[in-house]
Amino acid sequence: MIQHLIDHIEKVSTIHVSEAGLPESFFEHKKYKKKELLLTEGHRCYEKFFIIKGCVHLYYLRQNGTEQTIDFALEDWWTSDFTAFQQGAPAQFSIRAIENIEVLSITADRQQALFKQMPELHAYFHLVFQRAYAACQMRFRFLFEFSKEELYQHFLQHFPAFTQRVPQYLLASFLGFTPEYLSEIRKKYLS
């Protein structure tokens, strides 16, 4: 399982990791069934997750009880509520498996121990988070720049695999649409 992460580290950064160099014992290999929660809003957030297989969504509960999806994460992405993770604080988001998934999870304590043993891993996470932050800058631009319909078109063009994989009501929530509005736009583009 650790080989997936090693492959990703070597793809993203210039670090060369032998299997002996990244001990699997720092991580927990977990499986979640479709719809199971990896993290629950209001509960303390101890872990971050590297997705080996499957897809999850990050959401919070609106005051009216509906779920607002903020983000998705797929294979080779790290996900968590990173404010809560870095502070060991209660999560402001939940994370739920959209498919049956497999992850490597690491707690903040174990991560600290791992960095003592392999400080060069910071270079990998530096790049991972720089990319994630850069993607947010672009996403803020899209949110301001595009109409709802353009936002959907953009998503379709740049993430076609996603639109097949993610349930339409979650995609609608992520884009800030009602499911009915997304269904209308989809009909227009399919016809």
DSSP state of 45: -
Instruction: Select from 125, 146, 159, 162 the one that contacts a copy of itself (CB under 8 A).
Output: 125
Decide: is 133 part of the binding site for a copy of itself (CB under 8 A).
Answer: yes
List Cβ neighbours of 152 (8 Å cut-off, separation of 6 or more): 175, 177, 182, 185
Decide: is 152 part of the binding site for a copy of itself (CB under 8 A).
Answer: no
Decide: is 178 part of the binding site for a copy of itself (CB under 8 A).
Answer: no
Q: By C-beta, is 3 or 130 nearer to a copy of itself?
A: 130
Torsion, Cα 140 143 146 151, to 10 degrees, reads 110
Decide: is 3 part of the binding site for a copy of itself (CB under 8 A).
Answer: no
Q: By C-beta, is 1 or 127 nearer to a copy of itself?
A: 127
Decide: is 70 part of the binding site for a copy of itself (CB under 8 A).
Answer: yes
Instruction: Determine the Cα angle at 55 with ends 41 and 15, to 5°.
Output: 100
Rg of the chain taking only CA atoms, in angstroms? 18
Decide: is 37 part of the binding site for a copy of itself (CB under 8 A).
Answer: no
State the number of binding residues for a copy of itself (CB under 8 A): 38
Q: How far apart are CA 189 and CA 186, in angstroms?
A: 5
What x/- string results for residues 5 through 34 when contact with a copy of itself is judged by CB under 8 A? ------------------------------
Question: Cβ-count burial of 103 within 10 angstroms (0-12 exposed, 13-18 middle, 19+ buried)?
Answer: buried
CB-based burial, 8-39: b 16+ in 10 Å, e otherwise: bbeebbebebeeeebeeebbeebebeeeeebb
What x/- string results for residues 77 through 116 when contact with a copy of itself is judged by CB under 8 A? ----xxx-xx-----xx---------------------x-
Decide: is 143 part of the binding site for a copy of itself (CB under 8 A).
Answer: yes
Q: How far apart are CA 149 and CA 34, in angstroms?
A: 29
Q: Report the interface residues with a copy of itself, using CB under 8 A.
A: 58, 60, 62, 68, 70-71, 81-83, 85-86, 92-93, 115, 119-120, 122-123, 125-127, 129-141, 143-145, 176
